[in-house]
Structure 1
Amino acid sequence: MGRNPQDNRLSMKAYEWIRDEILANRLHEGEPLSENRLAQELAISRTPIREALRNLEQDGFVKSVPGKGAFVAEVSREDVVEIYELRLLLEPLAARTAVGRVPEEAIDALEADWRDLRDRAARGEAVEYEEVHLLDRRSHGLLNEHSSNRKLRQILSLLHSQIERFQFLSARSLADVRDTAAQHLEICAVLRRRDPEALARLLEEHIRRSEDYILSRYLRR
Structure 2
Amino acid sequence: MKGRGRDAFSRFRPVLRMMEKLLGLAPKPLQKWMWTLSDLLPDLPGTALRYCLLRNLAHRCGDNVLIGRSVELRYPERLSIGSNVSIHKQCYVDAYGGLTIEDEVSIAHQTSIVSFQHTWSDESLPIRDNPVTGAAISIGRDVWIGCGCRILSGVSIGSRSVIAAGAVVTKPVPSGMLAVGVPARVVKSIGRAAKESATIGNGPRMISHEPYTQHYQ
Q: TM-score, normalised by structure 2?
A: 0.22
TM-score (norm 1): 0.22
